[in-house]
Amino acid sequence: MLEPFETPEQREARAAEQRAAQERDEEQLKADITALMETGAGRRIVWRLLEETHIYQTCYRDNPLQMARAEGRREIGLMLTEWVTTYTPEDYFTMQQEALHERRERDARQRANRSGGNTA
């Protein structure tokens, strides 16, 4: 907030304080994302959130309120993707590989169950 009777020195000090706070917030976010992506459980949660937000699908709906909701969810997913790919790009790749592996295992189990236990 601008103060009407602020001296230039006070204004600069306030701006420097705001920059320092923003840098602290950014460093905290980086540490949090790094900690989250270091564990398999964290990567599974992030992947599930990305799937639920449908970041690689269209948001188009016939109903404008449903479309707005879908776009809001997608925006959150895109923000999470940006954080992860910015701070831990190698873990994003690991997360994708783990998700693919889990999906293949799940599909194989489902096929085995449908065929009565026969995997051939």
Query: For residue range 57-73, what is the model confidence (pLDDT) as tens digits?
Result: 999 999 999 999 999 99
Q: What is the Cα gyration radius of the chain?
A: 22
Torsion-angle region of residue 3: left (phi > 0), alpha (psi -120 to 50) or beta? beta
Residue ranges of alpha helices (H) inside the chain are 8-37, 40-53, 64-87, 89-114
- State how far the Cα of 25 lies from the Cα of 39, in Å rounded to an integer: 22
Q: What pLDDT does 108 receive?
A: 93
Q: What pLDDT does 118 receive?
A: 59
Burial class (CB in 10 A: 0-12, 13-18, 19+), 1: exposed
| Average pLDDT estimate for 71-97 | 97
Whether 119 shows a pLDDT value over 80: the answer reads no
Whether 27 shows a pLDDT value over 90: the answer reads yes
Q: Which amino acid is at 8?
A: P
8-state DSSP, 6: -
